[in-house]
Amino acid sequence: MSHNRTMIKVCGMTCSEDVDLAVEIGVDALGFILAKSERKVDLKTVKNITHNLPPFIDLVAVVVNPKRKEIEKIVESCLFNYIQLHGNEEAEMIKNLPLKTIKAISIASAEDLKKIKKYQAAADYLLFDTKIGSQTGGTGESFDWTLLKEVNLKENYILAGGLGADNIELALKKLKPAAVDINSQVESSPGKKNHKLLKETLEIIKFFKI
C-alpha cells in the first residue's frame, strides 16, 4: 500500500453504474459482498459489472466463515485480488489462502481488540469495522476510534465503519490509516451508491495530506 496518500476501497458494489463511477473518480479497490447481506452479489454479477475495468483496480471478495467449496469457487473465478473475511475464521486457514487477505475485526469495545494478536500474523491486512449486536459491517455507524489509539498497531491497516463526507477528514486526522473502506454512508439505499456523496467523500480523502 502507498504511504503518501490514503488508499480507497468502496464496498457493497452491486451494479455497473456504481462501478463505473467509482473507477472514474479514482478508487483503488472495489468490494463485492458474497455473504448474506442486503448487498449480496454472486460471481456472475461481479464478472458482468467488472468486465471492462481498466488495469490496476483491485477486486475484493467479502465473505463470512466461508466453506472450502466457496473459497475454491472464488479462486477459480480469477476475478479477485483479495479476500476479506468477516467471521470467526481460523488464523491457519487465512494463512493458507492463495489470495491476499484482509481480516476484518469488528469493534464494540476494547475486548474486541484482543483479536488483533490472533490475526495480525495470519492476514496481509487488518480492517477495523463497527460491531452492533450481531451485525458486523454495513452498520452505518462508527466505533470509538480512541480504542485503536490504545493498541500498538505497527502494520498498515484499513479503517471502515460509517465513514462518509461528514466524518472522513476527522478519521484521517485522528488515525492516519493506510486505507479506508467506504460503504453505507455513501448510499441512497443498500447496494445503491449516492453518486454525489461518493464524489464528495473521495474528494475529501484525496485532498487530505498524510
Does any domain span residue 1?
A: no
Q: How many domains does the chain have?
A: 1
User: Using one digit for the tens of pLDDT, what is the confidence trace for 75-121?
Assistant: 999 999 999 999 999 999 999 999 999 999 999 888 999 999 999 99
Active-site residue, selected from the candidate residues 11, 42, 144, 166: 11
Does any domain span residue 47?
A: yes
User: Using one digit for the tens of pLDDT, what is the confidence trace for 75-88?
Assistant: 999 999 999 999 99
Active-site residue, selected from the candidate residues 20, 28, 112, 129: 129
pLDDT of amino acid 153: 76
121 class by beta-carbon count within 10 Å (0-12 exposed, 13-18 middle, 19+ buried)? exposed
pTM of the model: 0.92
Does any domain span residue 38?
A: yes
Q: How far apart are CA 161 and CA 140, in angstroms?
A: 6
CB 129 within 8 A of CB 148: no
Grid coordinates in use for 144? Answer: 470509538
Instruction: Give the CATH number of the domain where residue 120 resides.
Output: 3.20.20.70
Q: Tell me if residue 129 is catalytic.
A: yes
Q: Tell me if residue 11 is catalytic.
A: yes
Low-confidence ranges of the chain (pLDDT < 70): 1-3, 132-140, 154, 210
Does any domain span residue 155?
A: yes
Task: Identify the domain containing residue 111 by its residue range.
Answer: 7-207
pLDDT of amino acid 2: 44
